[in-house]
Amino acid sequence: MERLRVLELYSGIGGMHYALEESGVPAEVVAAVDVNTTANNIYKHNFPNTPLWPKTIEGMTLNDFNKLNFDMILMSPPCQPFTRIGLQGDISDPRARSFLYILDLLPRLSKLPRFILLENVKGFETSSARDALVKTLTECGYSFQEFLISPTCIGIPNSRLRYFLIAKAPPGSFSFQTTSEILEGFPRSTNNEGPDGSSVPDSHSIAASSEKEETGEIVYKKETAHDLERKRCQDSEETVRRLQDFLELDTQGEDIEQYLLPPKTLLRYALLLDIVTPTCRRSVCFTKGYGHYVEGTGSVLQSCMDTNLENVFKSLELLSEEEKLNQLSKLKLRYFTPREIANLMGFPARFTFPKDISVKQRYRVLGNSLNVHIVAKLITLMVS
């Protein structure tokens, strides 16, 4: 296969670029485009030889696009217009403008790109932006398939359910039978191996179950019996690896102190924390607010295993603040480090941050990124 010329739009910290490399498809990124200064610094640090355009997509002309003569577009448009906790402004949100601009340009390009891969949040599949995307692809004659996939599907202990679309220009077609249904996993014809080479199932109930909210009697913390049962099921799922495989080994002593949850956070948010241990086979989605906000931004790790979690929480409400803090401190609860989150998201060991990027900035850009292993499998599927 000849070397494909790839355009990486909304390039962020380079998750798509790493996925392209992992896929093994012969390709080069001819341009990466993003306006985020922090993300661009990290991208340049890791891919110094890739042309990086620090400009808005609307600032690129049709001629700019045509000159790049690309065969593939990889893109992850801003998710804020579609996220479930946002305003869900959809195409009326100014941040959706650049994506609509791409859809407007696509049919007018001198050469249709052979392949397109798009990633976004769950919620995009019901948006007007998605309808506009599908309409444009159909008019241009593309074959395409939509997916909702979580990394648990390939044995990674992290729920990050995301929307993906892969498209192939005529006259090509995919190596699998496409459907108008959104697939919740990889097609059966693909080689379902996890990133460590182990066999994993085609689709995963974990991906779906971790997204549902249930109510019921509170058992301990702010968890219902159903929550606990769901977590137990996830932890007994042997096709998913344990968190300990993704943790840094040298996070001991002083180094780890900076990641311990501060007393104020423990006292205020203890009942809302999603607490996991190194032997767990699950963790909740890490968002850009991780380490800064507590609720719903990602799991925290219990690093002292000599203390029983349920015993700590059993009578917590009856204790004074000092006693409460004393109890909670026994668990040695800490945030996952940025490197550990990068590991869970499939970034290779050679991915590093420039020294001047703060911990808060690292969490922020990782929360905005994607799972490299999932995208690598989709690129392979799209091109094969």
The domain limits of the chain are 4-202+370-383, 205-366
Q: What percent of the chain has pLDDT over 70?
A: 85
Q: Residue 80: what pLDDT? A: 58
Query: Mean pLDDT across the stretch 310-336?
Result: 92
> Does pLDDT of 364 surpass 90?
yes
Q: How far apart are CA 334 and CA 271, in angstroms?
A: 15
101-105, 236-240, 283-287 — which is least confidently predicted?
236-240
Q: Residue 252: what pLDDT? A: 53
Query: Mean pLDDT across the stretch 213-226?
Result: 56
94-98, 201-205, 303-307 — which is least confidently predicted?
201-205
> Does pLDDT of 204 surpass 70?
no
Q: Residue 216: what pLDDT? A: 43
> Does pLDDT of 194 surpass 70?
no
* CATH homologous superfamily, domain 205-366: DNA Methylase, subunit A, domain 2 (3.90.120.10)
Residue of 79, 153, 280, 285 marked catalytic: 79
Give the largest CA-CA distance in the chain: 71
Query: Mean pLDDT across the stretch 242-250?
Result: 89
Q: Residue 104: what pLDDT? A: 95
Judge if 4-202+370-383 and 205-366 fold alike in CATH terms: no
Could you report the per-residue pLDDT of 13-61, keeping only the tens digit for each? 999 999 999 999 999 999 999 999 999 999 999 999 999 999 999 999 9
Confidence of residue 212 (pLDDT cuts 50, 70, 90): very low
Q: Residue 82: what pLDDT? A: 47
> Does pLDDT of 101 surpass 80?
yes
Non-local CB neighbours of 377 within 8 Å, separated by 6+ positions: 23, 154, 186, 190
Residue 79 designated active-site? yes
List the structure tokens of 358: 């703060």
Q: How far apart are CA 315 and CA 143, in angstroms?
A: 58
9-23, 67-81, 229-243, 250-264 — which is least confidently predicted?
250-264
Confidence of residue 255 (pLDDT cuts 50, 70, 90): confident
Q: Residue 50: what pLDDT? A: 98
User: Which class in CATH covers the domain with range 4-202+370-383?
Assistant: alpha beta
Query: Mean pLDDT across the stretch 184-207?
Result: 57
Of 29, 73, 69, the C-alpha closest to 168 is 73
Q: How far apart are CA 80 and CA 131, in angstroms?
A: 17
Q: Residue 202: what pLDDT? A: 44
Bond prior to 171 in cis (omega within 30° of 0) = yes
Q: How much is the mean pLDDT over the chain? A: 87
Give the predicted TM-score (pTM) of the model.
Answer: 0.89
Residue reference for tokens 């693909």: 190
> Does pLDDT of 176 surpass 70?
yes
List the structure tokens of 180: 């108008």
Burial class (CB in 10 A: 0-12, 13-18, 19+), 5: middle
